[in-house]
Structure 1
Amino acid sequence: MSAPASGRSRAAGTSEPGPSAATESVAGEEVTAVAAEAPPRGRWARMRATVQAYLGLTKTRIIEQLLVVTVPAMFLAQRGIPSVGLIVATLLGGAMAAAAAHALNCVVDADIDQKMKRTARRPLARGQVPTRNALIFGLVLSALSSVWLALTTNWLAAVLSLAAIAFYVLVYTLLLKRRTSQNIVWGGAAGCMPVVIGWAAVTGGVGWPALVMFGVIFFWTPPHFWALAMRYREDYAAAGVPMLPVIAAPAAVSVRIVVYSWVMVAWSLLLLPATSWIYLAVALAGGAYFVFKAHRLHTAVKAGEEISPMPLFHLSNLYLCVLFAAIAVDAAVGLPVLF
């Protein structure tokens, strides 16, 4: 259950997640060049290193972003504030499911992680965790997350959670990632599932607003990830991963970013019949600024200027957080819906 993800600072490195000495956090993952380091000495130091290695498999910062969109979906489904117990149970189950998907992703992608500076310090790439152990860890977390959600929320939320894990690992990681430049477009659907799971946990079903929120994240994912992939194009190329910026000219990538940005903003307005002017104001202002920045990136690319796509990447994280925060506030305040 992963999406495509969140990020922070920038450094000289390239492409997917992992911790380090000279680190950069991109898409919720730390980036660095691999440096030799002595194994930890002492029982407690080794134990701490082992725990950190297994946590590294789960990509915890991406999980944070997935949970950020889950709570607003629950608020909207409740048309208010759900019980604290239900929120905690859903977030814990969702976190375990996302951790499971990420761990299994690390198992499948261990070979290419070793070739990419951005992912070279992942636990499996560094040999910190045996592959067999990582596989068992991911499978056990998958089972635990489903059982937990079934016992604390409902069976639909549990089934959707398991489906999200399967889609991320089997469809995105195994089938799409290394075969097509549309990998992140269709594979990104796994990262949209938290809103549907959150809605199901509250209502026991899947309403149309959940599908609209799913669509917002679905159309948000390509601009978000392609901006990142433009920055780390050489890394993906070195690993043989056909991300769009690897196989297409920068202008072709930036124009698609613009198109998806427009579609994302337009799609976000479909939520108006379930929200008030609070959401409308944020959706219009935030969407207009996002589209403006996407156009600026495209203009710079066409003009042959030296570009930095990372500001748009970071803006995409902020946009999604603010938009979904507006959904939560709107539902909690309980103003009359617009239509």
Structure 2
Amino acid sequence: MTDVTQQTGTYEARMGDYFALMKPRVMQLVVFTALVGLLVAPVPVHPFIGFVGILCIAVGAGASGALNMWWDADIDAVMKRTQSRPIPSGRVQPGEALGIGLALSGFSVILLALATNLLAAGLLAFTIFFYAVIYSMWLKRSTPQNIVIGGAAGAFPPMVGWAVATGGIAPESVLMFALIFMWTPPHFWALALFVKSDYGNADVPMLTETHGRRVTRNHILGYTIALVPVALGIAFTSIGGPVYLAVALLLNGWFLKGAVDIWRRDDADSEADQHAVEKRVFKISLYYLFGHFGALLVEAVLRTNGLGGW
């Protein structure tokens, strides 16, 4: 770890440094999918309760990020894309990150239980535990299936949002979970294809390192094919409709084409254009998830006005 204090004197952490601990980019996706899960639920929620529920989910996501950065500080210091994070750069001390993560975890879960219901709070608590302990402390450094299994942590937010509104679990919330769960491996493996040396230098057993790029390309295509029926199936549930189906058909065709393009390439092709296709598919994967949940939100608004659904 770089000792910034020895090189430049004592560094006093700023609010932005602590905020960076909570992985704000990841938090945006968590908040958005949780909000959609809450709004598409068949039970109306008082705006203030909804606000508190989403706030707690956001804080819980931030807590997970802080705990992850605390545990992964050693490998973050090795990987180029993470060296500037608050802990390896010396802007925040590991003990501070641990304290913030634990405090925010307790605050978010307890407040969510008091403001909404025990199921929502329990799901949030399990999500934090899954990301910080099962994924970060165990799976990430022990198996090339880390992203596959660990993807569950990022898939729970819409289920939590649904539980905030309904106090229960339903096929629709499970399908939203499945959509994110199946999307996560091809999304991260596309990234791993063009930051391969980073994971190898940090001894993280990413699939690209343990089985090679050819196997990774095969897995990206396989998971994308398996993702398509999950995404399209949501269209025929109570939260789907023609607008969602049209968007899903477009996005799945786009994403599947990208997966096929990756599958057809080899290392020579990738190196020749500096991983242009892999980078493009990674960006497509971001549009893919936001597009699906955005379409669900549109369907919810239309249903409210008596226009949505089949």
- Please give the TM-score of this superposition, normalised by the length of structure 2: 0.90
Structure 2 residue runs without a partner (length 5+): none
Alignment of 1:288 with 2:257, yes or no, is: no
1:59 aligns with 2:28: no
**2:299 and 2:309 in contact (8 A); partners too:** no
Aligned-pair CA distance for 1:38: 4.2
Q: Alpha-carbon deviation of 1:332?
A: 1.5
Are 1:70 and 2:34 counterparts?
A: yes
Alignment-derived partner of residue 80 in structure 2: 117
Alignment of 1:189-204 (within 5 A): 189-204=152-167
In 2, distance between residues paired with 1:91 and 1:136? 22
Greater share of residues in helix? 2
2:295 maps to which residue? Answer: 326
Counting only pairs closer than 5 Å after superposition, residues 291-302 of structure 1 correspond to structure 2 as 291-301=256-266
Superposition deviation, residue 336 in structure 1:
5.5
**Contact 1:261-1:294 at 8 Å conserved across structures:** yes
Amino acid at match of 1:283: A
Q: Structure 1 residues 278, 123: closer, same or farther in 2, change over 3 A?
A: same
Q: Percent identity?
A: 37
Q: Distance in 2 between matches of 1:178 and 1:135?
A: 19
- Aligned-pair RMSD on alpha carbons? 2.0
- 2:108 corresponds in structure 1 to 145
Counterpart of 1:324, as a letter, is F
Partner residue in 2 for 1:162: 125
Alignment of 1:246-257 (within 5 A): 246-257=209-220
3-state secondary structure, aligned to 1:118? helix
Native 8 Å contact 2:117 2:164 kept in 1 = yes
Letter of the 2:77 partner, please give it: Q
Distance apart, 1:287 and its partner CA: 0.7
Contact 2:112 2:120 in 1 (8 A): yes
- Displacement of 1:87 in angstroms is 2.8
Q: Which moved more, 1:188-197 or 1:247-256?
A: 247-256
List aligned pairs for 1:121-270, cutoff 5 A. Answer: 121-270=84-233
**2:286 equivalent in structure 1:** 317
The TM-score, its normalising length taken from structure 1, stands at 0.83
Of stretches 295-304 and 263-272 in structure 1, the one that deviates more from structure 2 is: 295-304
SS at match of 1:101: helix
Task: Name the CA distance, whole Å, in 2 between partners of 1:106 and 1:279.
Answer: 36
CA apart distance, 1:329: 0.7
Once the two structures are overlaid, the 10-residue window that deviates more, 146-155 or 166-175, is 146-155
Q: Is the Cα contact below 8 Å between 1:290 and 1:316 reproduced in 2?
A: yes
| Higher relative contact order (Cα pairs below 8 Å, separated by 6+ residues) | 1
> 1:248 Cα shift?
2.1
What does residue 30 of structure 1 align with? none
> Which portions of structure 1, spanning 4 or more consecutive aligned residues, are displaced by more than 3 angstroms?
36-41, 302-307, 335-338
Equivalent-residue separation in structure 1 for 2:226 and 2:268 (angstroms): 24
Q: Distance in 2 between matches of 1:171 and 1:162?
A: 13
- What amino acid sits opposite 1:329 in the alignment? V
- Secondary structure of residue in 2 paired with 1:177: helix
Is 2:62–2:101's contact at 8 Å kept on the other side of the alignment? yes
Structure 1, unaligned stretches of length 5 or more? 1-33
Conservation of the 8 A alpha-carbon contact between 2:301 and 2:308: no
Matched residue type, 1:62: V
Between the aligned partners of 1:129 and 1:194, the Cα distance in structure 2 is: 28
